[in-house]
Amino acid sequence: MVVAYLYFFVVGVCLGSFSNVLIYRIPLKQSIAKGRSHCGGCNRQIPAYDLIPIVSYVILKGRCRFCNEKIGIIHPIIELMGGLVAVFCFWFFKFDPLGLVVYAIMMVLMVIAIIDWRHMIIPDSLNAILLILFGVYLFFTYQSWQSHLLGALVVPGIMIATNLLVPSSFGGGDVKLMIASGIGLGLANSLLAGFIGVIVAGGYAFYLILTKKVNRKSHIAFGPYLCMGIVAAVFYGPKIIQSYLDLFNI
């Protein structure tokens, strides 16, 4: 089992490194299949021996070998997260094939969250991939067609209605994100994901207003918080919902 955990960690770290490529190139509409990685400072191609996940960052002390340009700490963090999420999925699902599907979903959600945090956009291509993955997830966790249909409609419908009352409350990418995830999560878990996203985002926005870092008319990326809610719903949705119902003896 130790060897298995180590294997999944290494593979996850490598996929985390690929996620860095997606995070950088997709917003710039660059090909993810062509073109070598290069330094953003001097534009020189990065040699293969400087592309070893986490290790290269440590050896180079977080700087480009050629121009000494600083490399953001977010890069090794994403790589590490890829490994840790892989280990967690393996621990949670063991050898169940569903674990691979969930891992893929988690990695796409991480890419979506960081792109939205940086650029305030959620690319349609990523929501499309997420829709496909949640379609596969649906086959493993099927409840009823009514639940999954409502999961894809109710929360997005609430978001659209909110936009009619308070314009620009939610972006189109946020709505599509909840459609893609809702069809796999089902109604109850989709509502939970949306609720967690609103609570966490609201708390963070309140903190920013109190510290005067933003004003009440400012906008924050909502996607990262929806992603948090989706992650919680995927792993612990039924338990969270049941714990809530137990409070009222339902």
Please state the domain extents for the chain. 1-93, 96-250
Q: Does position 168 have pLDDT exceeding 90, yes or no?
A: no
Q: What angle do CA 48, 52, 58 make, to 5 degrees?
A: 120
Residue-wise pLDDT tens digits, 116-156: 999 999 999 999 999 999 999 999 999 899 999 999 999 99
What is the pLDDT, as a whole number, of residue 74? 93
C-alpha distances out from residue 59 to 11, 77, 151, 172, 216, Å: 20, 15, 47, 42, 44
Q: Does position 249 have pLDDT exceeding 80, yes or no?
A: no
Residue-wise pLDDT tens digits, 96-107: 999 999 999 999
pTM of the full structure: 0.93
Range from 131-140, 179-188, 217-226 carrying the lowest mean pLDDT: 217-226
Longest dimension (CA), the chain: 64
